[in-house]
Amino acid sequence: MSLFSCTQHVDDGEEEMLMAEDHGPDLIHPHDFRRPRSISRSDLAYSHCKEDEREQPVAHESLDYLPSHSGVYKKWLQEKAYRKEWDRWLLMGLIGTAVGMLGFLTHQIIDSLITLKWDLVENYLKDGNFHLTWVCVLGTGLAMILVSSSSVLFFCPAGSPSGLPEIIGYLNGTSIQHLFNIKTFLGTFVSCVLAVAAGLFCGPEGPMVHLGAILGCGLSQLQSDTLGIHLPFFTRFQNSADKRSFITAGAGAGIASVFRAPIGGLLFTLEEVSSFWNIRLAWQTFFCCLMATFTTDLLSSSLYGFVYRGHFGFFEAEKRILFWVKNLLDMHIFAFIPTILLGMLGGLLGALFVSLNIKINKLRMRFFNSIPKSSVRKTSKLLETMLILVCTTTVTVYLPYFFSCTPVMNVRDGQLRNNSEINLFKREISEYGCSPSTSWIGPDGVRYSNRTFNQAAALLVENGKQGITYLFKRGTHEEFGYTSLCTALAFYFILSCWTAGSAVASGLVIPMLYTGALYGRIIGLILVSIFGVQTNEYGAWIDPGLFAAIGAASFFSGVSRLTISLTVIMVEITNDVQSLLLIMLAVMVAKMVGDFFNASLYSSLLRLKCIPYLDVEPFVHHGKKWLNLELFSARDVMEPHVRVLHLKENIASLAQLLASTSHGGFPVVCRPKPDHAEVFQGTIKRLELCMLLENEHIFEPETNHESFSSSHPLSYEKITVEKLPNLSRLTMLLNRYTTDPRYQQLFINLEPYINKSAMSVQAHFSLQRTYIIFRTLGLRHLTVVDPQNRVVGVITRKDLMPFPLEKRLRLQLASQSPDTGE
């Protein structure tokens, strides 16, 4: 049977997922191809996404994954010669290298700004003038925050910071405007480095995932409407499927670069970021993460503070491993008991952190959305970030004043000189009034020192990364006391929770690790208080540094609910393979305890931001009972009012349809025989129809046949666009077509352009399996047909979101008897 003949058979599925506006102005928002519905926009994603909780009205739509399987597409494929995959691997390597350079640059700028900020106040601290110190540190911090927050509020096209939840939603199939814009890249980068350097309790990890994804998108597509760049290279990758792969690899490379953890970056994208995965993508992402980590390590080997230090290409373990644990400890089975306790504590505190952060963000959104004027609303967000910095700086500067100096335990000059902590110890001595150290030469001929340091300053002065290094350190059983640890834990937990979601580009990984390390160290200190400092090999596991690392993993898991990737990342950033089983146990317990109370932070943020996200399995409840979707059918959730097109469509009618609706695509039907009913033939997208209407030479006069053929159909490249090149011109054309009587007599043949492989299911098909098909194939829409293959409805992503799905099934149950409902 001919491919273009009208048949009742529905070919294999059209895998559709996503394609976003990456580089240019706003899209036309093609939500779906249905009539307007009674469900409000606020109900489309999640039940709690009310209008007063939104940052701003955002139109999320799902766009195509694979190209339309049309006649012009097959002709285009026949003209393409077979290509090897060398160019794909080349792009993966380039993306990894670019992300690695960006990661190196990010760390260097942050470290340089932090050093500069505290060097400016060193003389005031030597004189014990904490008030001038506070004024100077706050002044430099406010200047950084002013630029940081302004860069996302006033420079980024979206007008608000975006990060990991948006990337997760995009790769699940949701189009989010301006997510990969060049302005978004610059604004996010500037905001990230300045927010961390200003002293906010945050890290660069989340923004680095976003920046890596932007680089993956930009380098693979080589086009930008903002800059007016359209390079004619690697054009075969300018489709949504390949773009998704490069974005996934770029996101993984961002994690790999910031943590120097290539395997962790790969597994993080697999477990948390990407919704669609295959072994080829895994191998390519692995290579991209490898190149990112290698580039960051290579540049860091000889450059520090943008000054060449020599030893280019020499990878020192202390520099390469983020929180290097030098002394590995032998484990005992008794170590699993406090590990389980830490896992439970991590799950509880992680769930509390998620709940508190979501409540703060809801309150923040409700307050800012009550401000009608956009400029005043953005200014208010800017003032909030400044208020957060004032509180953070006050804690950082004044809190160490209330702590006395503590001797550095068993440190020799020779060891300290080769340790990266020397600079911080010097600064702590001068800043917080610790008396100058004295030194002596021991019997072994080595010069020893009795240096002292301020515990609170060591934990809070610079940033969380340096504090984590202290907390993970082994053999320092009593270096930090209960008071300093508990105080730092309370302030860091509250301020980092408040900071997350403010108007700066910031990450939460460092705060999560640091918070967990603090209470993990407290548990270890309790064990030391009970059993004392153990010097024998069977009791050496009673070390606060060990439980700090386990606590960091447990809180990270309690907040993010990550398991596999988190375990690998913890091993890669500490080099502590000996504690692998303990970390795995703590992570699993924390996840199970956290899941008992609420969803992960990233899932909660997806709901809060009203980003339509389809989970792997549908979970719908009615009252207190979970509904079994196998008891329902596709008919129960479909939209029955469907606008359909025919193979031969009138120009005026088609223009009127496009002008009066915002649907993203339309089913196409035809009659196999004159006396036969119209049956489903395929689908065609709105953007393709718009591009067809811009080419009047393919219009034809009316014929007597239902189907007629165009002598010269448009090429695949001409009709395949991600967004309309000229929206105003299209509006003018649609108005002319609907008003000019000449176009009432003209028709267009849609047969060469319709997707013949569009997926469809019958109305009685299981709803559970409908959801699985829709989610697994990444469909944009699913046509519902009856046994005669006639179109009776359509299902889109928004029909399968939790709240609309629950609402429809509740109505369905209400119309049934109680027995049937059960």
What mean pLDDT comes out for the span 720-748? 83
- Tell me the two tokens of residue 410: 């068993």
Cross-strand partners of 669: 646, 680
Cα–Cα distance measured from residue 731 to residue 291, given in angstroms and rounded to the nearest whole number:
46
pLDDT at 3 over 60: no
Q: What is the pLDDT of residue 442?
A: 62
**Does residue 104 contact residue 300 with C-beta atoms inside 8 Å?**
yes
Which has more pLDDT, 194 or 445? 194
Looking up tokens 């400890």 gives: 329
Phi-psi region of 410 (alpha: psi -120 to 50; beta: other; left: phi over 0): left
Cα–Cα distance measured from residue 719 to residue 689, given in angstroms and rounded to the nearest whole number:
8
Q: What is the pLDDT of residue 211?
A: 94
By three-state DSSP, how is residue 762 classified? Answer: strand
pLDDT at 302 over 50: yes
What mean pLDDT comes out for the span 218-247? 78
pLDDT at 47 over 80: no
Q: How confident is the model at residue 421 (pLDDT cuts 50, 70, 90)?
A: very low
What mean pLDDT comes out for the span 519-534? 89
Average pLDDT in the chain: 80
Neighbours of 382 (CB within 10 A): 21
Inter-helix orientation angle 422-431/86-119, to 10°: 30
Cα–Cα distance measured from residue 596 to residue 354, given in angstroms and rounded to the nearest whole number:
13
**Does residue 791 contact residue 797 with C-beta atoms inside 8 Å?**
no
Cα–Cα distance measured from residue 441 to residue 449, given in angstroms and rounded to the nearest whole number:
9
Looking up tokens 């091993």 gives: 571
pLDDT at 103 over 80: yes
What mean pLDDT comes out for the span 709-721? 71
618-651 confidence digits (pLDDT tens): 888 777 778 888 888 899 888 888 888 988 888 8
- Tell me the two tokens of residue 540: 């050496």
For 16, phi then psi, to 5°, come to -125, 140
549-568 confidence digits (pLDDT tens): 999 999 999 999 999 999 99
Q: What is the pLDDT of residue 663?
A: 82
Q: For the ranges 415-419, 597-601, 635-639, 649-653, which has the lowest average pLDDT? A: 415-419
**Does residue 336 contact residue 550 with C-beta atoms inside 8 Å?**
no
Which three-class secondary structure string do you get for 208-231? HHHHHHHHHHHHHHCEECCCCEEC
Closest CA to 115 of 445, 544, 518, 420: 420
Q: What is the pLDDT of residue 109?
A: 92
For 561, phi then psi, to 5°, come to 65, 25
By three-state DSSP, how is residue 441 classified? Answer: strand
Q: How confident is the model at residue 412 (pLDDT cuts 50, 70, 90)?
A: very low
Closest CA to 199 of 260, 143, 129: 143
pLDDT at 787 over 80: yes
What mean pLDDT comes out for the span 167-189? 87
Provide the percentage of residues in the chain whose pLDDT is more than 90: 31
What mean pLDDT comes out for the span 35-53? 39
**Does residue 766 contact residue 775 with C-beta atoms inside 8 Å?**
no
In Å, how far are 455, 607, 695 from 625, measured between CA atoms? Answer: 52, 22, 55
Q: What is the pLDDT of residue 21?
A: 35
Inter-helix orientation angle 240-259/279-300, to 10°: 40
- Tell me the two tokens of residue 553: 């993993």
What is the dihedral sign for C-alpha 359, 362, 368, 370? Answer: negative
